[in-house]
Amino acid sequence: MRKHYLWIGASLVALTACGDSLEVQNLNDPDVARAYATPSGVEGVVGGLGVQINNTQRASESINTQAKIYAGESFATVANFGMAARTIIPRNPISNDLGNDNQVGNRANWDVFSRASRSAATAIQAIKAYQAKGLTMGSTAQDARAMAFAYMIAGNSLGYLSLGYDSAAIVLPTTASDEVPGLSHYTAVNRAALAMYDSAVAVANSAAAATGANGFPLPATWMSGQANLTKDNFIRLVRSYKARIRAGVARTPTERAAVDWAAVISDATNGITADFTVNIGGSTGWSAGFDVSQSYVTGGWHSFPMFYVGMADTSGGYDNWLKDGLTTRRAFLVQTADKRWPQGATRTDQQAGTPTVALPAGRYIRNRPTGEDVPTIGWGESFYDHRRYGVINIAASTGPYTEMSATEVDMLAAEGYIRTGNLASAAALIDKTRIKNGLGSIGVPASATAPYSTAAGCVPRVPQGPSFTSTACGNILEAMKYEKRMETAFTGYLVWYADGRGWGDLVTGTIVEWPVPYQEMQARYAPFYNGTRAAAKGTYGFGG
């Protein structure tokens, strides 16, 4: 039973020759000691961490792809990447049995994030060891930028593990290189991630970061084309990640309500002020495998299901869809003032406005050509595809990909304001995208629970209990949710999924976390288990 899952990328152990003159070192095998043997080698390791984190998030074989199905961000009829398995309603547990059909995707994020956290921690240890000997990578500023970036990657790695899995190993820069930490609960892993972000900010703000040459901004290659990551912009990015990770870890509405929203507001309002993008494709080595490439393949790989985005409709079509049975629902025409949608009173009109995947600026959704429809009946049938990256897809999947939308960060602050009673500040942030997309201001509602409007054309129109077969105007929280969904679809990591479980919006019975992959449990000589923790009947009554 192989145990490399526990320590891969972890050690600075010196290698010694065995004395056999015929022995030749295989330089194609990973050589951790050699990689960290020089300051330049350490910097090379640090500079390569960003692409590792990015590419595994976007890979088709990942829990991110499966989570899109769970969260209603995507629908697929093909069985690849666990997608068809996750569409099933009533939901099934996540199988973690030996050789289960989705073992590659279930393990992929766990494996890479765990290795990246170890690599980042080891790099920080190495930098400190060189400094103890009076050595630097060239200057103390150059050391500081590498250390700050490594701390951020450690935060991302642990943070994303805490979002996706029920537990993980916490590897810190204080963890010995030969130590195998036990598994910790996702809440502890999340706290460790936040501590790593705090360290990244502290190092970036230190006097050392401003002493000598080759400090901030970060080299553009570290975040693929981002040449503007000055110290201040880097700190804004780190604080944005902190807000995402702190809020997103919640598995239930109770846990979401208990989030430290004052801290989220503080980080989000000091976060990024424009979309944070990374350049993918070409010679960059960076990719967005599913979001920009695979989801654009016709024939059942993706459509936009109507559970959540159907709330944009003001024609009554969504209400009629809700009245029908889950398995007999049919696609309907969404008519809305929201400019992110195709406009027109007929499918032909909407198709004429979105004739290719390269949509007009600001439009995210197209009404696909009729000939590309995939025959199906039920809740997943839809006329619509998410095509925000159509121009990039046509250009051989080369161009700027939105890693984090500025609206995501604004909506984290807005949610905090709503939960702490500052509706005016929340409304101002929500209006930033509503107004420019044709939906108008929500004003300042009389209360957090009151509908922001009673107009027939309001968006979003939210399913109403107890039968959930009709809609009414949403309150300020629902307006915030709608804007966040529209602006974060096919961005970031587990954004819709993490929000959906925390808001209590997922389809009844949806599993809210992945188990530690069975391969890791075997390596630890521990029993493996399935993912069974499921969402209760939620806000909209979907699936139950």
Q: Does one domain contain both 256 and 358?
A: no
Return the axis-axis angle of helices 261-268 and 406-419, rounded to nearest 10°: 150
DSSP state of 218: P
Residue 496 lies in a domain: no
| Nearest CA-CA partner of 274 in 386, 402, 150, 421 | 402
| 410-420 confidence digits (pLDDT tens) | 999 999 999 99
| 97-140 confidence digits (pLDDT tens) | 999 999 999 999 999 999 999 999 999 999 999 999 998 989 99
Binned at pLDDT 50, 70 and 90, residue 224 comes out as: very high
Residue 256 sits in which domain range? 4-275
Binned at pLDDT 50, 70 and 90, residue 454 comes out as: confident
| Cα dist from 64 to 55, 402, 468, whole Å | 11, 15, 29
Looking at 386, 401, 416, the residue that finishes a domain is 401
| Cα dist from 298 to 284, 301, 359, whole Å | 26, 6, 17
Q: Does one domain contain both 341 and 198?
A: no
Q: Does one domain contain both 131 and 32?
A: yes
* Alpha carbon distance 140, 196 (integer Å): 20
Q: Does one domain contain both 151 and 271?
A: yes
Binned at pLDDT 50, 70 and 90, residue 30 comes out as: low
Residue 215 lies in a domain: yes
Q: Does one domain contain both 165 and 88?
A: yes
Average pLDDT, the chain: 93
Q: Give the CATH number of the domain where residue 173 resides.
A: 1.25.40
* Alpha carbon distance 462, 478 (integer Å): 8
DSSP 3-state of 62: coil
Which secondary structure element, helix H or strand E, spans residue 367, and what is its range? strand 365-367
pLDDT at 20 over 60: no
Q: Does one domain contain both 43 and 121?
A: yes
Residue 152 lies in a domain: yes
User: Token pair of 25, please?
Assistant: 């070192």
b/e per residue 364-383 (b: at least 16 CB within 10 A):
bbbbbeeeeebeeebbbbbb
Number of domains making up the chain: 2
Residue 510 lies in a domain: no
Q: Does one domain contain both 203 and 60?
A: yes
Residue 90 lies in a domain: yes
DSSP 3-state of 437: coil
Residues 417-440 have a mean pLDDT of 98
User: Token pair of 352, please?
Assistant: 């004429």
| pLDDT at residue 205 in the model | 98
Q: Does one domain contain both 324 and 241?
A: no
Residue 353 lies in a domain: yes
Looking at 401, 420, 450, the residue that finishes a domain is 401
Looking at 358, 383, 401, the residue that finishes a domain is 401
* Alpha carbon distance 284, 299 (integer Å): 29
Q: Does one domain contain both 196 and 327?
A: no
Q: Does one domain contain both 251 and 297?
A: no
| pLDDT at residue 386 in the model | 98
Q: Does one domain contain both 221 and 346?
A: no
Radius of gyration of the chain (CA): 24
Q: Does one domain contain both 84 and 162?
A: yes
